[in-house]
Chains A and B, each alone.
Chain A
């Protein structure tokens, strides 16, 4: 690509522009929704018109404003006269925060175990891979339910349990990638220089395998949202008066015949969030891994 003298845009800028122009509309919409979620989650205290537990028994089960309800309650009110829109905003904050922390916990534990398995090999690797196989064989929801049953529900425990979801995928992925990387010239070259293994892994190997792990995060994040909302929906996750998107759906389910607006907005919010992260993840994967293109396009 040669730039004409009249063309004042540098090649790097042109490249960036071309990429931006090729950004599909769907991806932009997904990113916009996630941005909105982030803004709502961070600014919930200022944005929400009412508190999430604020009741007004005189205004119970008001329909949304666009269905002829009170304009003070845009999405209507629930069975205790709480504003659905405000609760939705706080619920989004809770669900996204839990999914965020959960992803952080699972990816960190999994990645570290993957590194350990690849570094030590031998029985350490065997033990870790046996745990990985066991975890992969058991439906995680069942394990989560068992732990919550045995230990009783508390928010901290719930967060940790949700966080463990998907660790085995990171561990297996990281182990494979690190084994590959260790066999490559660059890792060998640094090792012969006498650099400490920890430094090799953190400074050299990790940056090289990060893109694959990031794609895995986009696959794992929606699953964690679905896990948290499922457990909360069943009444075994986030406990009232706290709220989460799953809990809102669970509470709204009892009113579904008379006041569908209690449940539907929370369901749509979950759906849009998981859909957005998945679509962005697919798009990222296509960009980062050219080998998938012949099959996927």
Chain B
């Protein structure tokens, strides 16, 4: 992997982050004067002016922007008026629980999605294949919040074998993780199947077979690495969808993670919390995309050699 390739990707990642910060700044400034929103309507003009001066709102916009970016770089994401604490602290507290849920769903996705996709491709045209494809189509169309409600209705209310909400044990994790992972697994299974099918028909697979390479090694050693790029792409790109889905699924199961915090912050218009979460997610996505790009270069050394554009 050439250094130029990595540097190009880093520059891209930095630009994306800057764009995210700029987006939040513009939306924040366009949405109205924070002073008049926080103070009562009958506040004397002098008090309003004092607040505006204190927060630097009387400065020219470029200066406000520079101060805003500098603040972000120093970890100043504003104050949550509901908790009366720095927003970053409030958000970071929730991260471990969201990670626990997200990583479990991701593991489920990789096992079910990639495993199911491989199985379907190898048993193409059989009932295994049809069942997998039916699952992918259903899983993709099912709204996750509806799936969550159905699971609660079945496993928590009718059969009473799993808790319907809260955290604390692995039993609390089962339903949220399944709900979150289903649509993701469906997409991954579908991509794995089709990209593996494409590779299985390549001449080098026939050559390997003619040479007498055992079946297992043909699949694991020859087919999968070559089918890997589309699979890594879809796992990486759809991670954003997984984060978005977590925002919906967490409230369904009263899972006190970042997603639930975001929804309540939006409802109460606790803007500091909202901007912190948006920037945190933007940062996560940029890191994930960067890692996906590096994985490309590792899976297919040609990509890292030619230029950054080849990976796009």
Q: Which residues from chain A sit less than 8 Å from chain B, CB to CB?
A: 130-131, 133-134, 136-143, 145-152, 222, 226, 229-230, 233-236, 246, 249-250, 253, 256-257, 260, 263, 267, 270-271, 274-275, 278-279, 282, 294-296
A260 to B263, CA, bound (A): 24
A295 to B124, CA, bound (A): 11
Say yes or no: A142 contacts B141, CB within 8 Å: no
Say yes or no: A151 contacts B137, CB within 8 Å: no
Say yes or no: B24 contacts A263, CB within 8 Å: no
Q: 1/0 contact trace for B1-24 toward A, CB 8 Å?
A: 000000000001001100110011
- Whether B47 is near chain A, meaning CB under 8 Å from some CB there, is no
Contacts of A267 in B (CB 8 A): 143, 146, 149-150
Main secondary structure of the interface of A (DSSP, over half): helix
Contacts of B157 in A (CB 8 A): 256-257
Say yes or no: B27 contacts A138, CB within 8 Å: no
A234 to B248, CA, bound (A): 7
Say yes or no: A133 contacts B152, CB within 8 Å: no
Total B residues in contact with A, Cβ cutoff 8 Å: 55
A222 to B183, CA, bound (A): 13
Give the nearest-CB partner of A263 in chain B. B149
**Of A141, A148, A282, which contacts B247 at CB under 8 A?**
A141
- Shortest CB–CB separation between residue B262 and chain A, in angstroms? 6
Say yes or no: B247 contacts A142, CB within 8 Å: yes
- Whether B197 is near chain A, meaning CB under 8 Å from some CB there, is yes
Say yes or no: A139 contacts B243, CB within 8 Å: yes
Q: Which residues from chain B sit less than 8 Å from chain A, CB to CB?
A: 12, 15-16, 19-20, 23-24, 27-28, 30-31, 137-138, 140-146, 149-150, 152-153, 157, 194, 197-198, 201, 237, 240-241, 243-245, 247-248, 251-252, 262-263, 265-267, 269, 271, 274-275, 277-278, 281-282, 285-286, 289
Main secondary structure of the interface of B (DSSP, over half): helix
Given A142-B277, A149-B271: 4 more A-B contacts, CB < 8 Å? A139-B244, A150-B28, A229-B145, A271-B141
Say yes or no: A236 contacts B145, CB within 8 Å: no
Say yes or no: B265 contacts A149, CB within 8 Å: yes
Give the nearest-CB partner of A270 in chain B. B143
Q: Could you jot down 9 A-B contacts, CB within 8 Å? A: A142-B262, A149-B274, A152-B269, A226-B143, A229-B145, A246-B145, A250-B145, A271-B141, A274-B143
Say yes or no: A271 contacts B146, CB within 8 Å: yes
- Shortest CB–CB separation between residue A34 and chain B, in angstroms? 13
Contacts of A253 in B (CB 8 A): 149, 252
**Of B31, B138, B266, which contacts A145 at CB under 8 A?**
B266
Say yes or no: A133 contacts B269, CB within 8 Å: no
**Of A236, A256, A274, A279, which contacts B149 at CB under 8 A?**
A256
Say yes or no: A146 contacts B201, CB within 8 Å: no
Contacts of B263 in A (CB 8 A): 145, 234, 236
Say yes or no: B153 contacts A256, CB within 8 Å: yes
**Of B16, B31, B248, which contacts A141 at CB under 8 A?**
B248
A141 to B262, CA, bound (A): 11
Contacts of A295 in B (CB 8 A): 194, 197-198
Contacts of A278 in B (CB 8 A): 137, 140-141
Contacts of A282 in B (CB 8 A): 137
Give the nearest-CB partner of A133 in chain B. B16
Contacts of B31 in A (CB 8 A): 150-151
**Of A133, A136, A270, A296, which contacts B146 at CB under 8 A?**
A270
- Shortest CB–CB separation between residue B292 and chain A, in angstroms? 11
A250 to B145, CA, bound (A): 9
Contacts of A249 in B (CB 8 A): 143, 145-146, 149
**Of A150, A222, A233, which contacts B145 at CB under 8 A?**
A233
Contacts of A235 in B (CB 8 A): 267
Give the nearest-CB partner of B277 in chain A. A142
Contacts of A229 in B (CB 8 A): 143, 145
Say yes or no: B240 contacts A138, CB within 8 Å: yes
Given contacts A233-B248, A267-B143, are A145 and B262 in contact (CB under 8 A)?
yes
